[in-house]
Structure 1
Amino acid sequence: MRYKQRPAGSNWGDFGPDDQLGRLNLLTPEKVLEGIAEVREGKSFCLSLPLDLPGGSKWNPRRRPPTLLPVLRNNKSNISYELRQDEPYFTDVLCDHSVTLYTQYSTQWDGLSQVGSLFDLHGDGQRQSCFYNGFAAEADMFGPIVREPDEQGRLPPAPARALGIEHMAAKGVQGRGVLIDLEAHFGREKRRINFRQLREVMEADGVVVERGDIVLFHTGFGQMLIDMNGNPDVEQLEHSCVDLDGRDEALLKWIDETHIAAIAADNHAVEAYPADKLGAAHYPLLPLHELCLFKLGIHLGELWYLTSLARWLREHKRHRFLLTAPPLRLTGAVASPVTPVATV
C-alpha cells in the first residue's frame, strides 16, 4: 500500500488501490446512453477556443501560444514542397508541420497529476508531495525532482509515470453534459459565487445535476477572449466575470455529494484565484482544485468556449446535451489541450 492514511473527505481507494481515473469511473455505458438521449437536433457546438488564444503571454507569462514550424524534407521546408524536386514526373505538393504546445495555454483538461498537495501519507508526521490516490511525487510519479536548469538552460524531461492525461484519453470522456449559465444571472460582474447563489441559479433555470454528469459553468469569460482577438486586456479580464468560491464549504460539499464526473468552465481556473487567505498554519491556495484533483479525482476543464452553446440551450429551454471531450493521448502529460464537442 502506497499510504497508511488518506486525507479527510477523499475517496482514495474507493475505485481500487491503483485507480488513475477518479470520478471518470462514473462515466458508465449507461451515462453515455443518457448523453445520447439528449441529442434531438443533431446540432454540434465546438467548445474550444482557437488554441492560439488568449494570445501572447500577457495573461500568463509562463505559457506561450502554439508555435508551428515546417518539418524539414531534404533540408528544405516541407511546406508546399513539390515532389518534382525529387522526381520530375511527380505532381504532388506536400505540407508537414511540427508544433510546440503549452498544454495549459488555452482550452484544456487538467489531469490528476496537475495539482497535488503536501500530505502525511504514512502517519509519521512527515508531509510529502503527493497526488490523487496516494501516488507520491518522487516514489511513484516523477522520480527525483530537478529544479535547476543545466548549463544550456534545459530541464530534464518529467513525464508522469502515474496519473498522466493518457488515462483520461483512453477512457474516452463521453457522457451527459449539464450547463449552468452563470452569465445569464450575474452578467460579467466580477464576483465569487457560493453554493447558495449557485443553487438559486439552478432552481431558477430548472437545472438538475445527477451522478456521473459532467458539469459546465458558463461565465462569458471565453467570449471576452474571442472578442479581444488575440490581444487580451489583462486589467479588464481580471475584473470581469464570476468564479466559483473555492473557500465555500457548502459548494465543496455539493461537488462531492453530487458525484459529478468532471467539471469545466470558460474561465481560467474554474474557481477564484487566489482564494481568500486563512488564519491557519497550512492551507491550499486552490481549494477547489485540491478537492477535485487531489482528493476526489475530478478532472477540471479550463478556458472552454461555452457562449454559443449557452445561448442555444437558453433559447430552447434546455440544459443537457451529449458531451464528447477526450484530451490528447499524451503519455505522461499532466494536462492537455482539448476540442470538446456538445451535441444537442
Structure 2
Amino acid sequence: MARWQKRPNGSNWGDFGENDQIGRLNLITPEKILAAAAEIKTGERFCLSLPLDLPGGNLLNPRRHPPKISPTVRSGDRPNMNYNLSQDDPNMIDVICDDLVVLHTQYSSQWDSLAHVGQEFDADGDGQAEIVYYNGYRGGEHIQGPEDEGGPRALALGIENMAAAGVQGRGVMIDLEGEFGRAQTLVGYDELMRVMEKDNVTVEEGDMVCLHTGFAQMIMEMNGNPDKDKLHGSCAALNGRDGKLLNWITDSGLSLLIADNYAVEAHPSVPGQGSCAFLPIHEHCLFKLGIHLGELWYLTPLNNWLKANKRSRFMLTAPPIRLPGAVGSPANPVATV
C-alpha cells in the first residue's frame, strides 16, 4: 500500500521518487557541483560553525543544553585523561586521552533533518488525519517515538540520508544585516527582493541560500554569557506567513535554506488565521518540499569577505554527521572562495 493517496497542497511529494528521503538535495546535480567549483578564485576557506558550546546556557531554547565532555574510563573506573599506560604495564611509556560527549544535536550550528517537523495530515484521503512527514513517511512507523518498539529513532528521513548524499554545491549569501542592522526585523518577500536587487544577488536552481543576519556574530560577542533579551529580540528573520515568500522558496529552486539566526524564520511566527503551522517555513520546507534547514551558522566573516570582494557566491561543503536515526545534527560547514 502506498504511504499516501493525496499530498499537501504545494508539496513535491513523489516528484523525486516514491521512496525519496533527501528532497531538493536531488537538485544538486554533478553539473551544479562543477558550477560551484568554478566559484573558487583564491582558495581561501571559512569555517561556518559556531563553537558548539555556544550560545551558552539554555536561554535560547530551554530544552537544549551545551555539550558535556567526559573521559572514557578504564577498569576500576579510572578516567582516560592524561592516563599513563605504565599503570597497566611498566614497560609502556604512552599517555592517553579518550573522551565521550553528551550532545544536543541542535544546540548550536546545526542541520534539521526532514524528520524534524511533520504534521497531522490526511494523507490517506479517508477524512482522518495521521502524523506524517515529508513524502508521506509515518509517525510511529517510520519515525518512532519512545513508546514505539525500537524507538525513539527515525527509521526514515534521518540525518544520515543527508550525510550520505554528500552536501556540497554553490552557496549564495544574502546580507540582511547590511540592510536592517541588528534590529528585530520581519523580512517578507518584498524586503528580501529589495536586498537581493540592491546587492545584485541571484539564486538559481540547486543553490544553497545563506541568510546573514548578524545573530551568530552577536552570540560570539556574548562569549558564552548570553543576554536573554538580545537572544529573543534582535536581528532579522523571515516572515513565514508571507505567501509570496513561500512561493519564492518553491519557485526559486533553492536546494537548502540556511541562516545564522535561531530558526531561519521568526520564532514564534506572527499569528495566523484558523488552524495553521506554528513555524510555517519549517512546514513549507521540511514537510512539503524536502528542503533541509541550517540554523545558527557563523556567517559573518564570510559575508564580510564576500562584500569586500563584490561577490555573493562560493563553494559550500556542509555534510552533517552520519548518525543513523537522528533527526538533527551539528554542522561544521566550510566555504571556499
For the aligned pair, the TM-score class normalised by the smaller chain equals: over 0.9
Matches within 5 A, 1:182-201: 182-201=176-195
Matches within 5 A, 1:289-304: 289-304=282-297
Q: Is the 8 A contact 1:131 1:294 kept in 2?
A: yes
Aligned to 2:114: 112
Q: 2:100 aligns with which of 98, 101, 108?
A: 98
Deviation of the 1:169 alpha carbon: 0.3
2:326 maps to 1:337: no
Separation (CA, whole Å) in 2 of partners of 1:301 and 1:279: 27
Aligned to 2:317: 324
Aligned to 1:86: 88
Q: 2:277 aligns with which of 284, 287, 304?
A: 284
Aligned to 1:151: none
TM-score, with structure 1 as normaliser: 0.95
Q: Is the 8 A contact 1:138 1:145 kept in 2?
A: no
Deviation of the 1:157 alpha carbon: 4.2
2:210 alignment partner AA: L
Q: 2:242 aligns with which of 237, 240, 248?
A: 248
SS in structure 2 opposite 1:321? strand
Deviation of the 1:274 alpha carbon: 1.1
Query: Alignment length, in residue pairs?
Result: 335
Separation (CA, whole Å) in 2 of partners of 1:157 and 1:137: 11
Q: 2:136 aligns with which of 121, 134, 137?
A: 134
Structure 2: runs of 5 or more not aligned: none
Deviation of the 1:145 alpha carbon: 5.3
Q: Is the 8 A contact 1:214 1:262 kept in 2?
A: yes
Instruction: Classify 1:224/1:156 alpha carbon distance in 2 versus 1 (closer, same or farther; 3 Å).
Output: farther
Deviation of the 1:146 alpha carbon: 2.7
CA-to-aligned-CA distance 1:213-251 (integer Å, 9 cap, x gap): 000000000001000011110112211101000000011
Separation (CA, whole Å) in 1 of partners of 2:101 and 2:191: 42
Separation (CA, whole Å) in 2 of partners of 1:60 and 1:246: 20
Aligned to 1:312: 305
Aligned to 2:268: 274
Deviation of the 1:29 alpha carbon: 1.1
Q: 1:213 aligns with which of 203, 207, 213?
A: 207
SS in structure 1 opposite 2:171? strand
Q: Which moved more, 1:285-294 or 1:131-140?
A: 131-140
Q: Which moved more, 1:173-182 or 1:56-65?
A: 56-65
1:115 alignment partner AA: V
Deviation of the 1:27 alpha carbon: 1.3
1:205 alignment partner AA: D
2:19 maps to 1:28: no
Q: Is the 8 A contact 1:323 1:343 kept in 2?
A: yes
Aligned to 1:166: 160
Aligned to 2:57: 56
Separation (CA, whole Å) in 1 of partners of 2:108 and 2:168: 21
SS in structure 2 opposite 1:136? coil
Structure 1: runs of 5 or more not aligned: 148-154
2:325 alignment partner AA: G
Superposed structure 1 runs of 4+ greater than 6 Å apart = none
Separation (CA, whole Å) in 2 of partners of 1:38 and 1:51: 28
Deviation of the 1:297 alpha carbon: 0.1
Instruction: Classify 1:157/1:64 alpha carbon distance in 2 versus 1 (closer, same or farther; 3 Å).
Output: farther
Q: 2:223 aligns with which of 209, 223, 229?
A: 229
Separation (CA, whole Å) in 1 of partners of 2:146 and 2:100: 28
Separation (CA, whole Å) in 2 of partners of 1:129 and 1:339: 31
CA-to-aligned-CA distance 1:231-276 (integer Å, 9 cap, x gap): 1101122111010000000110000001111011000000001112
Separation (CA, whole Å) in 2 of partners of 1:323 and 1:244: 22
Deviation of the 1:156 alpha carbon: 7.7
Q: 1:238 aligns with which of 228, 232, 237?
A: 232
Separation (CA, whole Å) in 2 of partners of 1:156 and 1:123: 29
1:194 alignment partner AA: G
Q: Is the 8 A contact 1:11 1:296 kept in 2?
A: yes
Deviation of the 1:195 alpha carbon: 0.6
SS in structure 2 opposite 1:217? strand
Separation (CA, whole Å) in 1 of partners of 2:154 and 2:142: 9
Separation (CA, whole Å) in 2 of partners of 1:6 and 1:170: 26
2:197 alignment partner AA: E
1:206 alignment partner AA: N
SS in structure 2 opposite 1:179? strand
1:164 alignment partner AA: G
Separation (CA, whole Å) in 2 of partners of 1:269 and 1:156: 30
1:14 alignment partner AA: D
Matches within 5 A, 1:134-153: 134-142=136-144, 146=147
